[in-house]
Structure 1
Amino acid sequence: MSQIRPLLDVPRFLTAFVFIVSGCMKLLNPGMLSGMELPFPTVVMTAAAWVEIGCGVLLVLNKQVKNACIPLLVIILGAIILTKVPLIESGFLLFLFEARLDIVMLGLLVLLFYKHPG
């Protein structure tokens, strides 16, 4: 079990990096996703941004990793459903291309949730 911990450091740091940067961008440019069909889009995006930053920091610090993965899984699934699934109408390959980062992040979060010790 002690050998798997160093193997999970890189995916943990990469996942944290993506979510922290994403959260910061949402805070710095709250209108970037305002065209989405959400109730109170600015409030929802601001809350999601703070959750992404907070959970990303927990991942960097290696604290409560499994618990931090849960809200991030919800956010990434929401991102795929709201922003990528509508692209299927334009073609499945376009959908896969546009969703590639989200799909990788989903996989990394699942890996961290199930394989992280503790």
Structure 2
Amino acid sequence: MILQTNKWICFAIGYVFIISGIAKLVISDFRVIFSNLGFPYPELILFIVAIIEITCGTLIAARIYLKQAIPALIVIMLGAILLTKLPILSSGDFLSFAFEARLDFVMLILLLMSWKYK
């Protein structure tokens, strides 16, 4: 039963990250978001993050190289929470923070579960 559940969890994780990576490459709003983060070379960082999401999402969906793919996506999720969600919390709006960070926390938990039960 755990193996079957893990298979579906891996598919769900892969789906979310593949779509997220593709969206980062084709939706121009992400360029603005990354530019506002204050990183040097924001378009290069956006491209690298998108490629990592697509590649690692594909590997996880295929359930191969999980030891390498999962930590990379955990780092991306932690970065997303720290850079884009915590500023909402620092403004004192907990409900907006909780709403905006909901998928980030779910994906982080699923990544950790998949890493533990790989």
TM-score by length of 1: 0.90
- DSSP-derived class of the 2:40 partner: coil
- DSSP-derived class of the 2:64 partner: coil
Aligned counterpart, 1:68:
69
CA RMSD, 1 decimal: 1.2
Q: Deviations over 1:10-41 (max 9, x none)?
A: 11111111100010011113524232221211
- DSSP-derived class of the 2:58 partner: helix
- DSSP-derived class of the 1:85 partner: helix
Q: Summarize the alignment of residues 96-115 of structure 1 with structure 2, pairs less than 5 Å apart.
A: 96-115=98-117
Where do 5+ consecutive residues of structure 2 fail to align?
A: none
Q: Summarize the alignment of residues 19-38 of structure 1 with structure 2, pairs less than 5 Å apart.
A: 19-30=17-28, 31-33=31-33, 34-38=35-39
Residue 94 (structure 1) aligned to one of 72, 96, 101: 96
Aligned counterpart, 2:13:
15
- Aligned-pair identity (%): 39
Q: CA offset at residue 90 of structure 1?
A: 3.7
Aligned counterpart, 2:55:
54
Where do 5+ consecutive residues of structure 1 fail to align?
A: none
Aligned counterpart, 1:77:
78
TM-score by length of 2: 0.90
Write the letter of the residue equivalent to 2:9: P
